[in-house]
Structure 1
Amino acid sequence: MPDIKVVPLGAGQDVGRSCILISLGGKNVMLDCGMHMGFNDDRRFPDFSYVTGGKGRLTEYIDCVIISHFHLDHCGALPYMSEMVGYDGPIYMTHPTKAIAPILLEDYRKITVDKKGEVNFFTSQMIKDCMKKVVTANLHQTIYVDEELQIKAYYAGHVLGAGMFYIRAGTESVLYTGDYNMTPDRHLGAAWVDKCRPTLLITESTYATTIRDSKRCRERDFLKKVHETIDKGGKVLIPVFALGRAQELCILLESYWDRMNLRVPIYFSTGLTEKATNYYKLFITWTNQKIKSTFVDRNLFDFKHIKPFNRTLIENPGPMVVFATPGMLHSGLSLEIFKKWCTSDKNTIIMPGYCVAGTVGHKILSGMRKIELQPGKVVEIKMQVQYMSFSAHADAKGIMQLTRMCEPEHVLLVHGEAKKMEFLKAKINHELGLECFNPANGETCVISSKPCVPVDMSLKLLKHKTEIVDTATPNPKCSKIIHGALLMKDNKIRLLEQDEALQELGLPKHDLRFTSTVELQNACRSEKLTMTRLYEHLKQLLRSHSVNTTSDGHILIESVLLKVQKDSETAMDVSDDFNTHEDDSPASKSILVSWPYQDEDLGSYLMEVLKNGLPKSVTKLPVH
């Protein structure tokens, strides 16, 4: 079987621009196609020339593309890849991802092209044309890309519609997690996968070294910080992405405002609240059980304390809480508000999720207090900066939990920082005994595997044809040999009882026998006398076996047959203490030993007995 090859074009020892190429069973699959939020040049998109070599379209090299969820670091390069580089094959994603991804792509395109005037970027029409190539996947539905390649989606939590994908070709399989969360929250459930035992698990490792506090503690600290800031008349900025953590924190603040009877306004980026509500209504089955059970009576996303935000409110005096997009402060409304509010020490910014290197969010979280927010203009950051992890990524404990859950043969880490990956890699190797890889971008990782071929077994064979080999073992049930026929038919392999296999194939029954010749020199003149002497001799030596003579004068030792005939072959001298009789003559005689294949051990043992117990010269010829 061919090895599995993995090449990250993005997210290799890095967070952002997820794009992983895998080759298994002769098939090539692209996992995610994202952009890097930390760059505004060619590094923003994956280098697809690695695949094509600058020649031809990607369609010629890739069998299918799989998108795990709608975040732009996982799908942002999709229109560029399909419409500008050139890909006409299928693109698989879940229904919510197909609905939400084009809206986020269009929003980002407007910011990038309309405001910054960038060229070599995809257009609105390219987004529409790209989405026409999408094939939607339901959870747990096996989709056959072709006769040899199949995929299946599992629930990943993280955001609405996020999926983990199981890919199988031949006997090789890969489980790709995308981003996932092993902890249920206020609106989504925890990721789940069955014991699919993939050859390779490719898992994100964003929080490879982090074990989070309890969810209740994080929520308490978040509410406390917000309340402290508005109490002293400050403003709170919470950068979020449009769907996901935004709804989680909105539900949390909504219930807190009710309990505390607060009147301080909470704002959300214009239009996103309505869109979010519509999507959660449409895809209610992707939410957790509490949302589903209360949805008929009350929509938890119809917020009474949270109002739409517009830019005129930025300069308003007095306390307020604002949710603004995007979540990493790399552009958009959140960055615009940050520029206005960052110079006051009364204000607070709470970063609830991971920020990619190169973004303003990453800079302030790393401790920078003087940042060039505009060309030639350095701003001093006086507002309080708080990081509170509400990110819907699995922490180190969750990654280990998923790995145990699916029982892979090998593990490969992506979407994480190199140093953190090394820590988790050692942990997986030590605690789980699994080989673990963490290739960098552009590095080819080869995973060798021992394919396991499943065989269906006849119930009749299981009941009647098993024999214990070693009863001295602690558990004899685990040490059995099964004699049967391995039948390959209709792309299936089955182990059947011999009679069943012959009947199914329409073949007559026949015996396969092994035959050897033992030649005697200076043996008895009479074949009958020779057989009599052999019978008495073997009866004494083989007391544990059934030794009888047949009606035609042959000796039958269980199912091994001996007979004497006059023809002979060239003999080889073997000394022996057996006394020759007076009627011995120099004439040579042959003893033919024949046994069915099931009794090969007895036949071989008998040959040794004859060799050591016959007169003067014995030759053992090869088995025929």
Structure 2
Amino acid sequence: MKLEFKGACREVGRSAVLIDDRIMMDYGLKPGEVTQYPVNGARPEAVLVSHAHLDHSGAVPNLMDITPDVFMTPLTFDLSSMLARDTLRIAERNREIAAYDSTDLSRFVENTHRIDTGVEFHTHGYNAQFYDAGHIPGAAAIRLEDKSGKSVYYTGDINTIDTRLVSGATDFPDVDALIIESTYFGNDHPPRKEIEKAFIDSLMDTLNVGGNVIVPAFAIGRTQEILMLLDAHGIKAYVDGLGVSAYKIMIKHPDTLRNPTHLRKAFANAIMVYGPKRDKIPLESTVIVTTAGMLSGGPVLYYLKKLYRDPKSKILLTGYQVEGTNGRMALDNRVIENDGVIQQLEIKVEQYDFSAHCGDRELKTIVRDFCDRGTEQVFTMHGEDTEGFAEWVRSETGVNAHAPQLGDHFTI
């Protein structure tokens, strides 16, 4: 079995792994000042998608000229279709050249097979199965096996810790090779309850002095979790952006959610905002949960135009901020680019680790478990220190480990 790494190598974003020039696992993009895509092109016969976040699914419609078979869980299909339509809509509105068009989207819908986790399926000479990844609703890790019996397990983004929204991953198969994400290698997450308390305390301190709180949140996963947290503390919030549409899709798949009843309640108690209604929000002791999670677009920029000079107010970032995004610039330099204008932030900026990824401790536990059960090679990707992770694997387990560079090939 030949592996070629086309993205997410010693970086976060544009995940893509090609198997035997035939099967692609994920095909995403990397956000930033200039959007980046997987390298060296590809002509796969099938594409298996781990989950709907754009860094894993966002470039799949660009492959539709070769009409590959596409496989993903039913909820991932609904969510990735929503994001693909939104991406195309934004490109058309901004008069930009999109990576795909409406015909590609139609082919994407026609060519996608929806497969539940735990169900074995066959594609172009390979046996495959999706495993619950615990990252966001619908997220799956992928096991692939060729005709000779060689097998690989690709984690995509994975989390073994329960969140308010989803339960952590618990089921791992025996395989010859493990391809594992490395986002938080070297960094343990604080206990979730501690993060939640610090977040709520900071938010309440701001509201009590008449400030406003902007919570930029990923549309899929983070928006829903934050609203559940706010609702659990009796805090009413405005919610704006694509996270509302994502909620309406998720709630149709209650079996993917840890507590669908609470999720329904949280959105019922929130105030949903659309377009022109933004002007009517009273910006005094107000909480606004809105996309985008990295301040890279969406309604959050509208609110920041009004509040970026207000030192009483806060931006509470709730997720990873990729280098080159507004979110990373806000953290590092207290500036953002908003509609072509550089804004020096007087509003306070704080970051809270509501990660839906394994931390260092959990990543190492997964690797040890696979290696103890006979895994012979480990590949570390999707992180800023994949080399360090591979070195740890070699020194601690004795198993051969690699941190691929873009375009690298390996055989298992």
TM class, shorter-length: over 0.9
- The answer to whether the 8 A contact 2:231-2:266 is kept is no
Counterpart for residue 323 of structure 1 = 289
Q: Which residue of 2 aligns with 1:441?
A: 406
Alignment partner, residue 380 of structure 2:
413
Aligned partner of 2:208 among 228, 231, 243 = 231
Question: Structure 1: how far apart are the matches of 2:265 and 2:57?
Answer: 26
Note the 1:2-151 alignment, pairs <5 A. 4-23=1-20, 28-40=22-34, 44-49=36-41, 51=42, 58=43, 62-82=44-64, 86-114=65-93, 116-146=94-124, 148-151=125-128
Of 296, 300, 308, which residue of structure 2 is paired with 1:334? 300
Q: Aligned residue for 2:140? A: 163
What residue in structure 2 maps to residue 280 of structure 1? Answer: 250
Distance 1:110 1:382 in 2: 32
SS in 2 for 1:394: coil
* Unmatched 5+ stretches in structure 1: 52-57, 449-624
Say if 2:329 is the partner of 1:363.
yes
Aligned residues: 406
Contact 2:242 2:291 in 1 (8 A): no
- 1:10 and 1:46 in contact (8 A); partners too: yes
Structure 1: how far apart are the matches of 2:112 and 2:134? 21
Q: CA deviation at 1:270?
A: 5.3
Q: Deviations over 1:114-150 (max 9, x none)?
A: 1x2112532233212212111122212111114x311
Residue 276 of structure 1 deviates from its aligned partner by 4.0
In the TM superposition, what is the alpha-carbon distance from 1:48 to its structure 2 partner?
4.6
The residue aligned with 1:477 is none
Q: 1:347 aligns with which of 313, 316, 331?
A: 313
Confirm or deny: 8 A CA contact 1:277 1:302 kept in the other structure.
no
Distance 1:93 1:379, change over 3 A: same
Structure 2 residue ranges without an equivalent (≥5): none
SS at match of 1:44: coil
Letter in 2 for 1:338: L
The separation in 2 between residues aligned to 1:219 and 1:348, in whole angstroms, is 16
What secondary structure, in the 3-state scheme, does the structure 2 residue paired with 1:185 have?
A: coil
Q: 2:240 aligns with which of 254, 261, 269?
A: 269
Please give the alpha-carbon distance, in whole angstroms, between the structure 2 residues aligned to 1:434 and 1:405. 12
Q: Secondary structure, in 3 states, of the residue corresponding to 2:5?
A: strand
**2:387 paired residue number:** 422
SS in 2 for 1:132: helix
1:464-543 to 2 correspondence within 5 Å?
none
Conserved in 1, the CA contact under 8 Å of 2:53 and 2:220? no
Letter in 1 for 2:338: L
For residue 278 of structure 1, what is the amino acid of its counterpart?
K
- For the residues of structure 2 that align with 1:29 and 1:178, how far apart are their CA atoms? 15
The alpha-carbon deviation at position 317 of structure 1 amounts to 3.4
Structure 1 30/187 Cα, relative in aligned 2: closer, same or farther at 3 Å?
Answer: same
SS, match of residue 251 in structure 2: helix
Check conservation: 1:201, 1:411, Cα contact below 8 A: yes
- CA distance in 1 between partners of 2:263 and 2:278 (Å): 27
Q: C-alpha displacement at 1:247, in angstroms?
A: 1.1
Cα gap change, 1:93/1:433 in structure 2, threshold over 3 Å: closer, same or farther?
same
If asked which structure has higher relative contact order (CA below 8 Å, sep 6+), I would say: 2
Q: Among the aligned pairs, what percent are the same residue?
A: 27
What SS is found at the alignment partner of 2:2? Answer: strand
Per the normalisation by structure 1, the TM-score is 0.62
Tell me how far apart the structure 2 counterparts of residues 120 and 100 of structure 1 sit (CA, whole Å).
Answer: 19
For 2:207, the aligned partner's letter is I
Q: In 1, Cα distance between the equivalents of 2:182 and 2:370?
A: 16
- Aligned residue number for residue 163 of structure 2: 185
CA contact (8 A) 1:70 1:97 kept: yes
State the Cα distance separating 1:304 from its structure 2 match: 4.4
> How far apart are the structure 1 equivalents of 2:265 and 2:397?
41
Report the CA distance between 1:443 and its aligned residue: 2.5
Alpha-carbon separation, structure 1, partners of 2:301 and 2:119? 41
How far is 1:405 from its partner? 3.2
TM-score, length of structure 2 as denominator length? 0.92
Distance (whole Å) between structure 1 residues aligned to residue 390 and residue 96 of structure 2: 40
Tell me which amino acid in the other structure corresponds to 2:352.
M
